[in-house]
Amino acid sequence: MLCRYFGRCGGCSLQHLDYDKQLEQKRDLVKNLLNFSDIMVFSDSDFYYRNRIDLVFHKTGLGLRKKGMWWCVLDIEECIICEERINKIINELRDYFKENDAFDIKRRIGTLRYAVIRVTRKEICINFILNSDSMKISEAIEKIKGFRTCANDITIGYVGRNSDLSVTDDYFVLKGRDNLEEEILGRGFIFNCQSFFQNNYNVAVKMHKYVSGLLKKYNGNLLDLYGGVGCFGVINSNGFSKILVVDESKNAIACARINIGDLKNMGVKLLDSKYLKRLELKGRWVVILDPPRSGMHFKVIEELNLLRPEAIIYVSCNVKQLARDLAKFNDYRIESAALFDMFPQTEHCEVAVELKLDN
């Protein structure tokens, strides 16, 4: 095992297995949960792949949650599933933040909470998250201002003492900007530093290429549900008469509008997906959706069953919840399924399932 922290860190759990065995284990899990045997598998590098890490402050440094002890921080010098540029930033942070008013998650006191590092092909961003209920915020900001780093962008955000989120809409830019850029299959995308974007670039590209292959079989209108910054819609804009991107995040929708640019057949809607019926969708639709780990609200499933799209492409990072949701689409059958190993050395994976209306 390459990682000196394996067994103590709460992150990776499969480093004791050869990578081929990890993939086999994940494929068997997906096959059994979906009751579908023909599972394609896509993977890439099994180390140094991750483009984001959420470091936790402690009194004398930064680290990750201890395994089985969520209230304790394991001090780390590197994370070998993260890209090398992230490990360079980890060292910069450790060299500077040696005496910290760190947030105590049990006592709910302290100021410095997270340092979230994100990298794209061209940029490095650090997002510092502070306890908004602390009386020492000014001191923490002044300390951050003195931090010298090779990162292009630095933002500072606030969350309340009773929240454990590492992203927030309440933030400001200290250096650079708050929007990052990435390219997928020749298309450029802007996304906010506080928004979701896939953490494994190389496998994400493979997933988008695969999904585009599925969508080429269909036409009509495309509903990009939980659409984020519009990646699926933009990449597949040439194949449909109309594309509508729906998401509840203001930051994501703002970026989606930029990413759409001059594509005349695309639109966006700021809306919680459980209110899908408000859209009064007419005509022939295909749906692609990529919900959070919690899956879809029952109202979304109800509305999709009423809409009866020709096909539904369900992308999920939680295969157990995926299986529960799929069981509620009685008029659909699984046409194809693929596993994308976005998270080597961990038990997690991404799955894309193509559902076809069973006429």
List, by residue number, the catalytic residues: 317, 350
What token pair was written down for 234?
Answer: 């933009």
As a whole number of angstroms, the distance between CA 229 and CA 257 comes to 8
Element counts in the chain: helices (H) and strands (E): 8, 17
CB 51 within 8 A of CB 124: no
Over its C-alpha atoms, the chain yields an Rg (Å, rounded) of 21
Distance of CA 343 to the CA centre of its chain: 11
As a whole number of angstroms, the distance between CA 127 and CA 279 comes to 35
Question: Which whole-number Å values give the CA distances from 352 to 21, 97, 298, in the listed order?
Answer: 21, 41, 20
As a whole number of angstroms, the distance between CA 5 and CA 17 comes to 16
What token pair was written down for 50?
Answer: 């991750």
* H helix runs in 236-326, sequence order: 250-260, 298-307, 319-326
What kind and span of H or E run contains 339? strand 332-340
DSSP letter at 308?
Answer: -
Tell me the sheet residues that pair with 175. Answer: 154
